A and B are shown apart, each in its own frame.
Chain A
Amino acid sequence: MRTICFYFQVHQPFRIKPYRFFDMGEDHYYWDDYLNKSVIRKVAQKCYLPMNELLLELIKQHQGKFKVAFSISGVCLDQFEAYAPDVLESFQRLVATGHVELLNETDAHALCSLRSKSEFKRMVENHKAKIKRLFNGYEPKVFRNTELVYSDKIGEMVAEMGYTGMLTEGAKHILGWKSPNFVYQNAINPDFKILLKNFQLSDDIAFRFSDKSWSEHPLTIEKFTAWINNVPKDHQVVNLFMDYETFGEHQWAETGIFQFMKVLPSAILNHTGFTFSTPSEVLGNSKPISPIQVPTPISWADEERDLTAWLGNDLQNEAFTKLYDLESRVNKIDDAEIQRDWNYLQTSDHFYYMSTKFFSDGAVHAYFSPYETPYDAFINYMNVLSDFIIRVTRKEKEMQEVG
């Protein structure tokens, strides 16, 4: 059976407010509530609410033949609870149809899989519990790591935690001549399965849809259906993985992205031999074709599909190292606020803002970052982290005195 697997990533970080060094030791609240709320509300209006409604309509219309998967980060769910209960409810309605699969990830959309197994496990457990609480006892079977970061070791770690498989990028440099349109196996644990993003077809929708300099612009449903039909006959699955904000936020409503998605399911079902499946259905129905070797971690970012957007320069490395040096100390502290901030500080976006990779491409950077320069991002983060260290140290002293 040939099938298309849609997975959408839903994530918003808790952005840090402008935090000066003289706030250190006094002001222990780091989060820019106003900014975070306005971003959530804006994206809710442009993307989450209209797109959820459209998906709900499509699922009903096709009576379960159209289905999708979501991974919603824990920090994003926290913000929905605080600022957009309407969005949370509409996701709950989608999941209740039975044709929407939820994936697990790290609660804070963190990069801890690269650093600490224990922290990684803790974060995944937290996310699992949050999904269970918010979605009527729902228990995800498939995992997706932050930014689709994957390596053989990370896969092994996830397998240990009881998942059947996980999603990652179909990066050219790991695939070579191989195609992403098959189910693969983890190189260490052959029972653990891997789904690879078809980046060509995914990015045609996510990045190039409204790009007027693209030779295929405009992307019509006829064109896309023809491309799907061109997928070689023996290929099993086309994984279309993308940010959910593609719909209405990265690609504005005016580009026609909603109309495109509205007609896509019937076009695929009627004019191609493809069906739709969720990740766990794909994993259950397909036989893996071979193991895939990924000795160094990959991600879904940039041309290089590596980690350099988050951990590619001295700024990012210093911030990342100083943060994770705290792990064992924070673990001993039973304090809700310290635990919350420890989570939120791990969100990958903070490190992305410090990237100097896109220095020349100011427009792209400005769009995704609340900071003017990566240096501003670094300074602000380090100020907050310095205060966080002060709090941890104070708490340790308190505990000693009591103990």
Chain B
Amino acid sequence: MKVLMFGWEFPPHISGGLGTACYGLIKGLNHHNQEVIFVVPKLYGDEEPMADFVNASDVEVDYRERNFIDTWQNLTYLEINSYLVPYLGPEEFEKYTDYTMHHRLDLEDSVFSNKYAFSGKYGKNLMEEVARYALVATQVAKMKDHDVIHAHDWLAYPAGIAAKEISGKPLVAHIHATQYDRAGKGGDQGPVYEMEKAGLLAADHVVAVSHLTRKIVIEKYGVHPDKVSVLHNAVLDASIIESKIKKKVPEKIVTFLGRITYQKGPEYFVEAAKKVLDRDPNVRFVMAGNGDLLNRMIERVAELGMGTKFHFTGFLKGQDVDDMYAMSDVYVMPSVSEPFGIAPLEAVRHNTPVIISKQSGVGEVLRNAIKIDFWDVDAMADAVFALLHYESISRMFKELGSQELKELKWEHVAAKLVTVYEKLHQKQP
């Protein structure tokens, strides 16, 4: 099978989990001898050569063609209405709203140039890039022979739809996160939601990263249940990471590691920390990461008077992330709505026991973790206390968690995906 796949980022140049998931998926598809043409807005040249990569920035587009004009008109309509930049919390959304309204780029001038240099980031020109990416998709769909189209998240949905219009091949919409997860209440409005909905409804099949997400796709986007399958993410490397890093403090360390945004539920972690510290002063809490709620979290920690026990590290990367996991005695992911959430699996690789919210898809594959409702700070505090004080539970997590990880292979995920492709292919007239 030849798969024409549209993504937004690819390792090593990634800013979120999407690129890593695409990498694992392609690796799995390679294992099953599937040919993948992978299109990204921007290539850096140091990507592992595991697919027929297409750099959207290199594709020449003849904008006078009728198809392009139609596509473009559809998309500019969305663009003009766009107040939202995804992957940011509600507060940063607001800032961007101001920004786009007052500093609008003059679109028309740049539209008809032949090549467009994509940033491939999630910046202020995101909507324009998404639209241009769709234009490139029509060109690629013409150039490259393929049997099925596969688009990852809303950024690539317009591209997927455009390619389907050209080649008529079946479209698989892969959903890694929805606007509901990102924006919370009010996720059902705005251009991102509209684009997600258009992609999900136009797709011949939808692949969701968890049952949690499948439910959202069906209930909030009105996609027919028969059309949606679940493909949980896997891990590239399930080996246990033995770290030499030593803690420099005698206290136990409890860690939050992730973007400090509404979606990740940092405030619940802070409140739970207070409850634990009131009872047991021999614990330190760490919040690692950056985000629009960081300042508010710092203020709240000060307000609760636990500044000497609750620490912020800022954004961590590379070895620092590994060290942080390794130093932690407990890792907490209190996400309000997490389609999957790969981070707890990383914690397991460091033999660190994990507490995750029941609103996280990863819980569907990770049995050996404590699961709590994100809002239930009492339960969260209780679980933290238990993991720090009752040894046998951590010991069991260490033994059983690593076994569970070994079962999460991208080959298995890709095998399921291939059957989805094959079914769609057979349905082709």
Contact = CB atoms under 8 A, between A and B. Distances in A.
Contacts of A319: 392
A318 B391 contact: yes
B304 interface: no
A318 B392 contact: yes
Contacts of B370: 373, 375-376, 379
A379 B385 CA distance: 9
A319 B393 CA distance: 11
Interface string B354-392: 000000000000010011000000110111011001111
A21 B396 contact: no
A359 B392 contact: no
B390 A318 contact: yes
A313 interface: yes
Contacts of A382: 386, 389-390
Contacts of B383: 379
Per DSSP, chain B at the interface is helix
A22 B391 contact: no
A356 interface: yes
B278 A317 contact: no
Contact of B396 (A22, A315, A372, A379): A315
Max chain A C-beta neighbours (<10 A), residue from B367, B370, B389, B392? B392
A45 B279 CA distance: 44
A209 interface: no
Contacts of B390: 318, 378-379, 382
A20 interface: yes
B169 interface: no
Nearest to B386: A379
A319 B389 CA distance: 12
Contact of B381 (A21, A373, A375): A21
B409 interface: no
B146 interface: no
A383 interface: yes
B31 interface: no
B252 interface: no
A314 B399 CA distance: 11
Interface string A288-311: 000000000000000000000000
Contacts of A24: 279
**What is the size category of the interface that chain B forms with chain A?**
20 to 34
Contact of A22 (B381, B386, B389): B381
B275 interface: yes
A379 B393 contact: yes
Contact of A21 (B367, B382, B392, B395): B382
Given A373-B371, A375-B370, A379-B386, A21 B393 contact: no
Contacts, number: 57
Contacts of A318: 390-392
A315 B395 CA distance: 9
Nearest to A373: B371
A317 B390 CA distance: 12
A22 B278 contact: yes
Given A314-B395, A314-B396, A21 B371 contact: no
Nearest to B278: A22
A275 B375 CA distance: 61
Nearest to B353: A375
Contacts of B382: 20-22, 379, 383
Given A373-B371, A378-B390, A356 B396 contact: yes
A27 B386 CA distance: 18
Max chain B C-beta neighbours (<10 A), residue from A21, A24, A376, A382? A21
B161 to A, nearest CB: 40
A22 B279 CA distance: 7
A315 B381 contact: no
Nearest to A386: B389
A379 B371 CA distance: 12
A24 to B, nearest CB: 8
Nearest to B397: A375
B367 A359 contact: yes
Contacts of B275: 22
Nearest to A314: B392
Contacts of A386: 389
Contacts of A375: 370, 393
B398 to A, nearest CB: 10
A356 B403 CA distance: 14
Nearest to B276: A21
A315 B392 contact: yes
A383 B386 contact: yes
A196 to B, nearest CB: 34
A103 B396 CA distance: 38
Max chain B C-beta neighbours (<10 A), residue from A22, A356, A359? A22
A22 B386 CA distance: 11
Contacts of A315: 392-393, 396
A243 B402 CA distance: 38
A378 to B, nearest CB: 6
Nearest to B368: A375
A363 to B, nearest CB: 15
Interface in B224-282: 275, 278-279
A375 to B, nearest CB: 5
Contacts of A22: 275, 278-279, 378, 381-382
A356 B386 CA distance: 18
Nearest to B388: A21
Contacts of B379: 20
Interface in A1-42: 20-22, 24
A381 to B, nearest CB: 9
Contacts of B385: 21, 383
Max chain B C-beta neighbours (<10 A), residue from A20, A319, A382, A386? A20
Interface string B106-128: 00000000000000000000000
B386 A313 contact: no
Interface string A340-376: 0000000000000000100100000000000011011
Contacts of B367: 359
A315 B368 CA distance: 13
Max chain B C-beta neighbours (<10 A), residue from A359, A375, A386? A375
Interface in B142-201: none
A8 to B, nearest CB: 35
Nearest to A322: B390
Given A20-B379, A22-B278, A356-B400, 7 more contacts: A314-B396, A317-B392, A318-B392, A379-B390, A383-B382, A383-B385, A383-B386
11 contacts: A20-B379, A20-B382, A21-B386, A313-B392, A314-B392, A314-B393, A318-B392, A356-B396, A373-B371, A379-B382, A383-B382
- Nearest 7 Cβ contacts at the A-B interface: A318-B392, A314-B392, A379-B386, A21-B385, A20-B382, A382-B390, A314-B396
